[in-house]
């Protein structure tokens, strides 16, 4: 039997401060996700990944497109409140395959610190949906190869744009 504290442990929370105004931080996270997402290693299609796409609306798809043109769905957009918040439904199983019955959520908030700096807060929740794999998936999502490393790369991409 799962308890409330177990559920609280099955959430990944990450935050990072980026050198970009809120609108740019949101746009790069959502509209230019391919600039920071590790497509070479983090894709589910048979072919190499050519693009990662988040369609800019509630109900939009979140997917990858392979170099062969095949699209592989990862989930969907649950909430689109540009440039302050996006909530994505993540539907990739512990075997890294699309599972339409699996629903976890990636809630990302963009909070202005000043005109040139944004705090990005990411929460990946609902990991209890992974059942017996929940703790392992939490550890994976929280690892340097998961959200931690991806947000660091995202911040580097934004810093480069702020300088350029």
Q: What is the DSSP string of 56-111?
A: SSTT-EEEEEETTS-EEEEEEEEEEETTTEEEEEE-B-TTS-B-TT--EEEEEEEE
Q: Order of strands across the sheet with 49-54?
A: 12-18, 117-125, 104-114, 85-90, 71-81, 61-66, 49-54
pLDDT digits (tens, 9 = 90+) for 81-96: 999 999 999 999 999 9
Q: Which two tokens stand for residue 98?
A: 């699309």
147-163 vs 134-142: helix axis angle to the nearest 10?
Answer: 20
On average, the pLDDT of the chain sits at 94
How far apart CA 149 and CA 152 sit, in angstroms, is 5
Distance (Å, whole) CA 69 – CA 141: 27
Q: What is the pLDDT of residue 161?
A: 80
Q: The domain containing residue 75 runs over which residues?
A: 4-163
Please give the Cα distance from 138 to 61 (Å, whole number).
23
* CATH number of the domain within which 60 lies: 3.30.530.20
Q: Where does the pLDDT of residue 7 fall: very low under 50, low under 70, confident under 90, or very high at 90 and above?
A: low
List, for residues 137-163, the tens digit of each pLDDT value.
999 999 999 999 999 999 999 998 866
Enter the DSSP assignment of 10. T
Categorize the per-residue pLDDT at 3 as very low, low, confident or very high, splitting at 50, 70 and 90: very low
Number of domains observed in the structure of the chain: 1
**Share above pLDDT 70 across residues of the chain, in percent, rounded to a whole number:** 93
Rg (CA), the chain: 16
The pTM score is 0.93
Residue 53, pLDDT score: 98
69: which 2 tokens?
């043109």
Here the tokens at position 27 are 């746009």
Per-residue model confidence (pLDDT) at position 160: 86
- For residue range 41-79, list pLDDT tens digits in order: 999 999 999 999 999 999 999 999 999 999 999 999 999
CA distance 149 to 36: 10
Between CA 23 and CA 30 the distance in angstroms is 11
């Amino acid at each position: 039997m799962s308890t409330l504290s177990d559920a609280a442990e099955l959430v990944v929370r990450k935050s990072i401060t980026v050198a970009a105004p809120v609108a740019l931080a949101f746009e790069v996270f959502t509209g230019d996700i391919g600039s920071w997402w590790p497509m070479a290693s983090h894709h589910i299609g048979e072919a190499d990944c050519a693009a990662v796409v988040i369609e800019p609306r509630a109900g939009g798809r979140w997917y990858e497109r392979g170099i062969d043109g095949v699209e592989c769905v990862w989930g969907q957009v649950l909430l689109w409140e540009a440039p302050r918040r996006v909530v994505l439904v993540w539907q990739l199983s512990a075997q890294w395959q699309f599972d339409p019955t699996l629903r976890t959520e990636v809630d990302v908030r963009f909070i202005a610190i000043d005109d040139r700096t944004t705090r990005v807060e990411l929460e990946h929740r609902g990991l209890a949906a992974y059942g017996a794999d929940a703790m392992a998936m939490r550890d994976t999502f929280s690892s340097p190869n998961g959200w931690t490393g991806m947000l660091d790369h995202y911040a580097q991409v934004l810093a480069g744009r702020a300088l350029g």
